[in-house]
Structure 1
């Protein structure tokens, strides 16, 4: 590769990073606005959404799946427990493991708000065709997998 071609590729890579970062921030703002309308914050919703779809889970695993530090997951679980949306369940086989589970109130809330959230996500990405969404998913996965490997 010539120096000029390499510089052009580097400039394009920088531009891609800036555009991707701005897009993520714009999407994040819309997602936060949607979730706040349910009187939840992003991490609370993430935990509830995970449990809604996966059922009872070890609290440590919940933290990993929603990308929270172990100290943060405890805080979020405490808050959701205070709101009556989540309960802690001791593992009968291992006292070190505590499970998180949605309460009936939490399940009811998710049954009510998740379809609305899904519609909000569809609106946010409505500027893309089905094919463009599939392409974006594949390209972003490719970027993420490669970035993890270096």
Structure 2
């Protein structure tokens, strides 16, 4: 059984974590929108830019968006000529999303700026504290997922 103090501290942690996440998310979304994309489009394009072509069916789990939204997002990026679909030569059920030359040029231009913005957002936390936060948040996530 949890103590009253542990319950109160856990509630406070939830509120502080939620508010911090809202503030960070707002700044990140502002940055991404400045490049003419929404956060979901950026996440999909960044995944393919960083990791190479991806099966469309697997993108959702990698960028944490509903699989039902993936086709719509890929369509939008394809209409902007940033991605293209490529059929798998070995399995007709699989279609890859691959970055176009135009998409690569765009990401070559904006990704370093985005990276700098991320550094600016987290500048208020020392490198050692960032590492500790990463460890603690992973620990929390693993604990919650195991429940």
Q: Which bracket does the TM-score occupy, shorter chain normalised? A: over 0.9
1:123 aligns with 2:120: yes
**Alignment coverage as a number of residue pairs:** 147
One of 60, 64, 72 as aligned partner of 1:63: 60
Q: How many Å apart are 1:35 and its aligned residue?
A: 0.2
CA RMSD of aligned residues (A): 1.0
Return 5+ residue gaps in structure 2 as ranges: none
The whole-number CA distance in structure 2 between the counterparts of 1:63 and 1:147 is 21
TM-score, normalization by structure 2: 0.98
Return 5+ residue gaps in structure 1 as ranges: none
The whole-number CA distance in structure 2 between the counterparts of 1:77 and 1:47 is 8
Partner of 1:96 in structure 2? 93
The whole-number CA distance in structure 2 between the counterparts of 1:98 and 1:7 is 53
The whole-number CA distance in structure 2 between the counterparts of 1:7 and 1:60 is 46
Aligned residue runs from structure 1 range 23-62, under 5 A: 23-62=20-59
Runs of 4+ in 1 over 3 A off after TM superposition: none
Q: How many Å apart are 1:61 and its aligned residue?
A: 1.2
1:113 aligns with 2:110: yes
TM-score, normalization by structure 1: 0.96
Query: Any idea what SS the aligned residue of 2:140 has?
Result: helix
Aligned residue runs from structure 1 range 127-146, under 5 A: 127-146=124-143
One of 54, 72, 75 as aligned partner of 1:78: 75
